[in-house]
Structure 1
Amino acid sequence: MRLSLNKNKYKEVNLYFQDEARFGMMNHLGKYLTASGVKPIVTYQHIFKTTYLYGSYSPINGDCFVWEINGVDTKIFEAYLKEFSLYKPKEYKIVVIDNAGFHSTKNIEIPENIHLLRIPPYNPELNPCEQVWQYIKNRFKNQRFEKMENLKEWLHKTVTKMDSETIKSITGNHHFLNAFNAAFIN
């Protein structure tokens, strides 16, 4: 893939993988390590209140842009892209997305500094962002939140604790890195 970039307009090019994940008040039970014969006690709640994280993660430099919002649809996706384009506006962003229905690009405005690439349908394993959500959800198990604000605060702290080395280790794949380097670095 060759993109003609205005070198005066964009100082760098970066690859991001984008996805969304739902987090809610209903807690997910996981395993606990206890002494033999001791049964762990975990409080459980069954509340259907949720929020979503939209995230774009770079395996190239470990950069990320995460947005918390209450829903998924085409208008929200368009607003996310607009906000993402304002993050490092001198960076040209190649964003790999899945084929979710609300990722339809027919009637939305895609910012000038973003180029969207789709992974083939029914191949979530090709999107390393799925591993980022798994990383967060592994820490989410056995958590119980009294209020939605507590959940949102926990998500914010968890996401901001992830440094660039952690993100690169989760999203890094030599196939993606080699293809990016061959196209844009060499």
Structure 2
Amino acid sequence: MESLTPKPAENGLKYWCQDETRIGLKTIERKRITALGVKPIGKVQWNFKAYYLYGAVAPQTGESFWLEFSHLDGMCFQIFLDQLAEKYPDHLNIIQLDNGKFHQSSRLKIPDNILLIFQPPYSPELNPIERIWLHIKQELSWGIYENLEGLKEKVCAFLGELSTEEIASIAGWDYILSALATVA
């Protein structure tokens, strides 16, 4: 039986799933195992300082690209696109993303080796990077951090430990791999 995984380097295409997420000092509460009817107990903080993590993952290879920004806007997205294009200059980088206003800014200058594909409005479930965000936030759940620098260090260390195999297993959805296999 033929493998669904295309050989991305051979055809010069690289398919990315891109999104942004806010990561902050407010404690992320998650389910905990407790006795029936007992509410989970944990320390929380209500500090609302945060930053944004811009990310892109390639479902077929598990490659990833991350940048931190203090806010979310078209200028930050432009920097993200420029740096992604610079890191992968020998590929046509096809990027699936949502319909955020800053993704469609008239001031945006899309690099020559990038093609943006917008998913239908209000459909984050179609973007595999959403599962990566869940994976990261699960790791951060119930954590208390003194400041943003400490939180950034934790996130950076966690991203550094994520293997390409792990990212591919989380983001490599069959319908995407199947579609990419027909292009290869």
Shared fold per TM-score greater than 0.5 = yes
Rounded to whole Å, the distance in 1 between the matches of 2:88 and 2:11 is: 10
1:117 — aligned with what? Answer: 117
Q: With the length of structure 2 as denominator, give the TM-score of the two structures.
A: 0.88
Matched, 1:64 2:64: yes
Matches within 5 A, 1:73-84: 73-84=73-84
SS in 1 for 2:169: helix
Rounded to whole Å, the distance in 2 between the matches of 1:168 and 1:52 is: 23
Rounded to whole Å, the distance in 2 between the matches of 1:61 and 1:49 is: 34
Cα gap change, 1:120 to 1:41, in 2 (>3 Å): closer
AA aligned opposite 2:78: E
Rounded to whole Å, the distance in 2 between the matches of 1:73 and 1:16 is: 20
AA aligned opposite 2:51: T
SS in 1 for 2:94: strand
2:159 — aligned with what? Answer: 159
Matches within 5 A, 1:1-186: 12-33=12-33, 42-183=42-183, 185=184
SS in 1 for 2:16: strand
Rounded to whole Å, the distance in 1 between the matches of 2:120 and 2:34 is: 43
Rounded to whole Å, the distance in 2 between the matches of 1:99 and 1:41 is: 38
User: Retained in 2: the 8 A contact 1:11–1:90?
Assistant: no
Rounded to whole Å, the distance in 1 between the matches of 2:39 and 2:134 is: 26
**Aligned-pair CA distance for 1:78:** 0.8
**Aligned-pair CA distance for 1:88:** 2.3
Rounded to whole Å, the distance in 2 between the matches of 1:48 and 1:134 is: 19
Percent identical pairs in the alignment equals 35
**Aligned-pair CA distance for 1:40:** 6.6
SS in 2 for 1:151: helix
What 5-or-longer segments of structure 2 have no aligned partner?
Answer: 1-9
Rounded to whole Å, the distance in 2 between the matches of 1:34 and 1:101 is: 42
Superposition RMSD in Å: 2.1
SS in 2 for 1:72: coil
Q: Which has the higher contact order (CA 8 A, sep 6+)?
A: 2
How many residues get paired?
175
